[in-house]
């Protein structure tokens, strides 16, 4: 078990699905959730991570611990561009919230359970056929999603391993988050230029805009806090308590 950053990552994903914010921003937020969720493992969590933590592949790459994931069969709770690629690295395949409503086939939880059974049955058969078969299925899961959305692209195993290696070069949560932003945006720009994933024209400007903003992040966390203090409402955030918890 462990904490997750789905409150940030999945909120961004769902807002992007509704076109309330750019998909490249949601892709970046996903990578930025890694340092936060990693804290639980540094404090003793052994996994598997929570299924809605789509940052799980990064946690697995860094810690080696098993992860739970969800995807196509979680459409009962939310839409996403990650339905297949999430299966590529899962140790446990699960689902999201299912309302107890009547469908044509049966009650929704029963229908959802059947979908999970078929999905896991296929993955188990591939694994049982040996490493080559398992890798082939894994690669199909990746190829079917990765080029269609930057949010899926950042879950490509090779991208995950590369960015995870960047993140662990730092020791503090802020430094890791800053490194994640700079590295992820650099790789997203490079991959977009290489045509590795689709991106609407209006999203390209956001990729450049986010990169400029990330470049302005100071190396020192205290400097960032000083910059942000004048913009915060003291009635809504108790900065002193946050700083005390950080010091502890």
Q: pLDDT tens across 2-14, in order? A: 467 888 899 999 9
Structural domain including 100 reads: 6-169+179-217
pLDDT of residue 32: 97
Determine, yes or no, domain membership for 116: yes
Determine, yes or no, domain membership for 206: yes
Q: Are both 193 and 120 inside the same structural domain?
A: yes
Q: Are both 224 and 160 inside the same structural domain?
A: no
Determine, yes or no, domain membership for 81: yes
Q: Are both 115 and 202 inside the same structural domain?
A: yes
Report whether pLDDT(23) > 80: yes
pLDDT of residue 1: 41
The mean pLDDT of 124-143, rounded to a whole number, is 98
In this prediction the pTM is 0.93
Burial class for 67, CB neighbours closer than 10 Å (0-12, 13-18, 19+)? buried
Report whether pLDDT(232) > 80: yes
Q: For the chain, what is the domain count?
A: 2
Q: Are both 164 and 231 inside the same structural domain?
A: no
């Amino acid at each position: 078990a462990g904490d997750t950053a789905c409150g940030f990552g999945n909120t961004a994903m769902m807002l992007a699905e509704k076109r309330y914010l750019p998909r490249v921003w949601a892709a970046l937020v996903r990578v930025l959730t890694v340092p936060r969720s990693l804290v639980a493992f540094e404090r003793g969590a052994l996994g598997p991570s929570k299924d809605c933590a789509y940052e799980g592949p990064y946690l697995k790459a860094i810690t080696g611990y098993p992860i739970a994931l969800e995807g196509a069969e979680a459409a009962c709770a939310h839409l996403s561009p990650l339905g297949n690629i999430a299966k590529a690295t899962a140790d446990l395949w699960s689902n999201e919230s299912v309302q107890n409503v009547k469908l044509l086939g049966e009650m929704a939880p029963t229908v959802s359970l059947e979908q999970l059974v078929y999905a896991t049955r296929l993955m188990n058969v591939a694994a049982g056929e040996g490493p080559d078969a398992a890798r082939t299925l894994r690669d199909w899961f990746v190829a079917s999603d990765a080029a269609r959305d930057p949010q899926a692209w950042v879950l490509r195993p090779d991208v995950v391993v590369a960015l995870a290696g960047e993140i662990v070069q730092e020791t503090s949560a802020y430094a890791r988050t800053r490194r994640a932003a700079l590295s992820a945006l650099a790789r997203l720009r490079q991959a977009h230029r290489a045509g590795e994933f689709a991106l609407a024209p209006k999203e390209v400007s956001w990729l450049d805009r986010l990169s400029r903003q990330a470049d302005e992040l100071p190396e020192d966390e205290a400097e960032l806090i000083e910059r942000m203090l004048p913009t915060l409402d003291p009635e809504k955030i108790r900065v002193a308590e946050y700083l005390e918890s950080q010091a502890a």
